[in-house]
């Protein structure tokens, strides 16, 4: 699926203040490639990822998937698009606090009326090293474990596009590398487009394309 942003802007209003989080961004995301988004804290990376992943309506401009403006779709159609095409790893994990890891991982399948593929989930859990955490709720897990659960949840439906916001932010170097390997392997196996925000230069070095952001704009 071809993702394109045209004249994308996002302004947050906070009391009297207007925060220009995204400033006139034009970009095409290469299909079936790994694109890394890098830049200083507060430069708009998460906002950009949310706008591209149909999670947050921009203040101006368009985001199109295969030429279709995703923010012109009805809320229902957009939710359907998210369920069927997109997997998201949120910067704060956003796991459901009362559900176990396994229940969290199954959510995207259940929401889309699919039977969770328990074999695939077992494989993912094994690779991610969270097999013995599957029956625990998030508050009983470390940050890094929650992060890996959120990765499994993003991958479970084998979506066409994976959006990951700092998915290795809470992991040590070896675990970060293993997680990257998993994402690259799934990307290859299921022909996915991978878009990842990262602060880690070693991870960005593996990307096919690097988007550098500064102050709500793309520098290159
Ligand atoms: N919901 C919001 N309301 C008001 N301002 C916001 C909101 N979300 C983000 N911002 C502001 O928009 C700007 C961009 O934020 P964003 O979270 O996209 O940055 P980021 O590059 O992801 O930073 P980090 O690397 O720290 O995660 C910041 O100035 C931030 O304070
Ligand atoms: Mg962020």
Exposed, middle or buried: residue 106 (CB in 10 Å: 0-12, 13-18, 19+)?
buried
Expressed as residue numbers, the domain containing 196 is: 33-54+72-218
Q: Is residue 67 part of a domain?
A: no
Residue 49 forms part of a structural domain: yes
Tell me how far the alpha carbon of residue 215 is from its chain's centroid. 21
Report DSSP letters for 3-30, one per residue.
EEEEEEEEEEEETTEEEEEEEEEEEEEP
Range 74-83 average pLDDT: 95
Asked if residue 198 has its Cβ within 6 Å of ligand 1, the reply is no
Rounded to an integer, what distance in angstroms lies between the CA atom of residue 135 and that of residue 16? 46
Residue 86 lies in a domain: yes
Q: Residue 137's pLDDT is what?
A: 98
Does the Cβ of 42 fall within 6 Å of ligand 1? yes
**The CATH number of the domain where 200 resides is what?**
3.40.50.300
Q: How far is CA 5 from the centre of its chain?
A: 16
pLDDT per residue as tens digits for the range 173-200: 998 999 999 999 999 999 999 999 999 9
Q: What pLDDT is recorded for position 219?
A: 87
For residues 167 and 89, the answer to whether their CB atoms sit within 8 Å is: yes
The total of structural domains in the chain comes to 1
59 within some domain: no
Q: Is residue 64 a part of any domain in this protein?
A: no
Is 40 within a domain?
Answer: yes
- The model scores a pTM over 0.85: yes
Whole-number pLDDT of residue 79: 95
Token code pair at residue 123: 């494989």
Nearest protein Cα to ligand 1, atom 30: 42
Of the candidates 124, 129, 133, the one whose C-alpha atom is nearest the C-alpha of residue 158 is 124
* Ligand 1 mutation target, pool 45, 48, 50, 199, most atoms within 8 A of CB: 45
Asked whether residue 13 is domain-assigned, the answer is no
């Amino acid at each position: 699926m071809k993702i394109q942003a045209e004249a994308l802007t996002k302004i947050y209003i906070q009391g009297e203040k207007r925060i220009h989080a995204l400033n006139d961004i034009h970009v095409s995301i290469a299909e079936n490639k790994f694109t890394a988004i890098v830049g200083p804290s507060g430069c708009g990376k998460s906002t950009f990822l949310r706008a591209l992943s149909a999670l947050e309506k921009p203040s101006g401009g368009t985001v199109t998937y295969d030429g279709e403006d995703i923010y012109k779709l009805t809320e229902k159609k957009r939710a359907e698009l998210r369920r069927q095409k997109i997997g998201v790893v949120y910067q704060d994990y956003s796991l459901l606090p009362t559900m176990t890891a396994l229940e969290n991982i199954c959510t995207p399948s259940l929401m889309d009326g699919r039977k969770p593929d328990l074999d695939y989930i077992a494989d993912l859990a094994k690779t991610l090293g969270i097999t013995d955490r599957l029956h625990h709720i998030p508050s009983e897990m470390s940050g890094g474990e929650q992060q890996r659960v959120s990765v499994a949840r993003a991958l479970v439906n084998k979506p066409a596009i994976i959006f990951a916001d700092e998915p290795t932010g809470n992991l040590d170097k070896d675990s970060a590398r293993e997680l990257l390997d998993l994402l690259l392997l799934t990307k290859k196996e299921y022909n996915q487009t991978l878009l990842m925000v990262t602060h880690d230069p070693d991870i960005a070095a593996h990307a096919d394309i690097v988007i550098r952001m500064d102050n709500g704009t793309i520098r290159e």
